[in-house]
Amino acid sequence: MNVWIQLLDTAGALLVLIGAAISLLGVIGMLRLPDVLSRSHAATKPQTLGMLLVLAGVALRLRTGMDLATLALIAFFQMLTGPVASHLVARSAYRTGQVDHGELLFDELDEQLTDGK
Amino acid sequence: MSRFPRFSFRDKDLPPLSCRVGRRGRVLDLPLIAWLTLIWVLLWSTFNLANIITGVIVAAAVCLAFPLPPVDLGLRLHPWGILRLAGYLLYDMYTSGVKVTRQIFAGMPHRAAVIGVPLRCRSDLMLAAVAVAVSNVPGGSVIEMRRATATVFLHVLDADRPEELEAARRQVWRLEELTVRAFGTADEIARVAEPPPPPQLTAGRPAP
Amino acid sequence: MSVFEQIDRVLLTAAIVLVLAAGLLLLVRIWRGPSMLDRAISLDVIAALIIAGLGAKSAVALDSFYFPIMLVLAFLGFTGSVGIARFIAVRDRPQAVTVIAPSPAAPPGAGGRSGDDAGSGSDAGSGPTKEDPK
């Protein structure tokens, strides 16, 4: 078999491994960070970067047109629907008072909401 | 109304790239049908004629059963802009991911803050696209979006240093410019080409 | 040539082990998570991890059998946490944060406002701001 194709396979496997490691780092961040909004920062990482790397690795190993299109569609929809959930979680965390306002350094949204009343 | 579909290059009353079918004159959006057909074919994961035909039929049936209001969203696709946006998003994901990882393992308590970044674009679709782009990077989580003043409110980690705050604002403005250049109409692009608005009075306020 | 395949197998097995470890750690967060919103975020991440794990598995087996499942997860993985954030999180509030100490960063109106929101039941979306454009 051709050496280059083998190298492509190995590069794909390496990308999958890097993506899995980044997902693990993000999950460790979700365990270590103190409050909901900080955790949502760490949660973005496995959702976008880790998953994109894994999908790119799979695409490098499979290499057929239909599979590439499906993988691109998976990545597209994941990046389209992830922010909806994270924004709603952040918004309702802020609005239901689960954010410790004393911990924040300053808060420009709070000033606007209080002024708007 | 005729029984045959009328396409928009014949009928000037219709919005572009659409056709009117049936006696009641339902308007079908052709790019939407193409997109739904593509998803249908990819779900079956084989590319043949039968899949395409059933996909078109199912997409048209869905569009007729659940009609959308015929509004112009203001979505224009610029291929070069989309490529630049994708490249910058990947780069930004990498750098912000490194930054967030460093903050995770730093162990020292950081002070977070909520900042408001005024945007320059005004249309709803562009605001939503900018919010999606900003929340896809690990450094920013969008808490609130104000449509009237086009301001996006972000939660940023590591707000102790003013240069980090300035970097976060510049990052949002850069993403906004690239997003509008990828998807926006001409006047939105012209609006984005101006320099960013001056910082608000509360920006960079010292710690209490 | 078989050396390459051995390397591939080792790398992909390590990737699957890492994804499994991430899922187990995330179960700890779901079990411990002080509020329902933490669990909602964890639910999102678990959907992403399932997609990544299925991707790693199909990279090992070199087939595309699981791709429609990944596609459906990418479509619908966010609905659960949206439901939690919209309807359940308003009822379930952790006890420690309900007493907001007045601080210079939070004017006295802040505590009262969040209390108002909690009082109005599941109506977290209606505030003094307009609806968000999504």
pLDDT tens by residue, C81-97: 888 888 876 665 554 44
Using CB atoms, which chains have 3+ pairs under 8 A with B?
Answer: A, C
The mean pLDDT value of chain C amounts to 73
Residues C87, C100, single domain; the answer is no
> Which of these three, B65, B100, B115, is where a domain ends?
B65
Residues of C in contact with A114 (CB under 8 A): 107, 109-110, 113
Task: Report the complex ipTM.
Answer: 0.86
Please identify which residue in the block is written with the tokens 């239901």: A96
Residue, of C127 and B129, whose pLDDT is higher: B129
On whether the CB atoms of residues B175 and B183 are closer than 8 A, the answer is no
The number of folded domains in chain B is 2
pLDDT digits (tens, 9 = 90+) for A56-113: 999 999 888 888 989 999 999 998 888 888 888 888 888 777 666 666 666 666 666 6
- Whole-model pTM? 0.80
Of B38, B65, B92, the domain-final residue: B65
Same domain for B119 and B55, yes or no, is no
Q: Is residue B202 part of a domain?
A: no
Residue range of the domain that includes B134? 79-192
Task: Tell me if B43 and C132 make a contact (CB, 8 A cut-off).
Answer: no
pLDDT band for position C102 (cuts 50, 70, 90) = very low
Report chain B residues whose CB lies below 8 A from the CB of A34.
109
The pLDDT assigned to B170 comes to 87
pLDDT tens figures, C3-40: 888 888 999 999 999 999 999 999 998 898 788 888 88
> Could you say which DSSP state residue C52 is in?
H
Residue B57 and residue B24 in one domain: yes
Residues of C19-54 as b/e, b for ≥16 C-beta within 10 angstroms? beebbeebeebeeebebbbbbbbbbbbbbbbbbbbb
pLDDT > 90: percent of chain A: 29
Q: Is residue C102 domain-shared with residue C88, that is, in the same domain? A: no
In this prediction, what percent of chain C has a pLDDT beyond 90?
A: 27
Of B16 and A2, the structure prediction assigns the larger pLDDT to A2
Q: Is residue C130 domain-resident?
A: no
What is the SS3 string spanning chain B? Answer: CCCCCEECCCCCCCCCCEEEECCCCEEEEHHHHHHHHHHHHHHHCCCCHHHHHHHHHHHHHHHHHCCCCCCCCCCCCCHHHHHHHHHHHHHHHHHHHHHHHHHHHHCCCCCCEEEEEECCCCCHHHHHHHHHHHHHCCCCEEEEEECCCCEEEEEECCCCCHHHHHHHHHHHHHHHHHHHHHHCCHHHHHHHCCCCCCCCCCCCCCCC
Please write the tens of the pLDDT for every residue from B155-179: 888 777 778 888 888 888 889 889 9
Axis crossing angle, helix A3-32 with helix C2-32, rounded to the nearest 10: 20
**Residue A113: per-residue pLDDT:** 62
| Mean pLDDT computed over every residue of chain A | 84
Q: Evaluate if residue C48 carries a pLDDT over 80.
A: yes
User: How far is residue B52's CA from residue B57's CA, in Å, rounded to a whole number?
Assistant: 9
Decide if A68 touches B, using CB distance below 8 A.
no
SS (HEC) of A1-16: CCHHHHHHHHHHHHHH
Q: Is B96 found in the same domain as B171? A: yes
- Check whether residue C8 and residue C64 sit in a common domain: yes
C74 and C100 both lie in a single domain:
no
**pLDDT score recorded for residue C129:** 40
A66 CB neighbours in chain C (<8 A) are: 64
Q: Which pLDDT value is given to residue B7?
A: 67
Which residues in A lie closer than 8 A to residue C128 (C-beta atoms)?
Answer: 113, 116-117
Identify the pLDDT of residue B9. Answer: 63
- Lowest-pLDDT range of B12-21, B149-158, C65-74, C117-126: C117-126
Low-confidence ranges of chain B (pLDDT < 50): 1, 201-208
Asked if A85's CB is within 8 angstroms of C78's CB, the reply is yes
Name the residue of chain B whose CA is nearest to C125's CA: B144
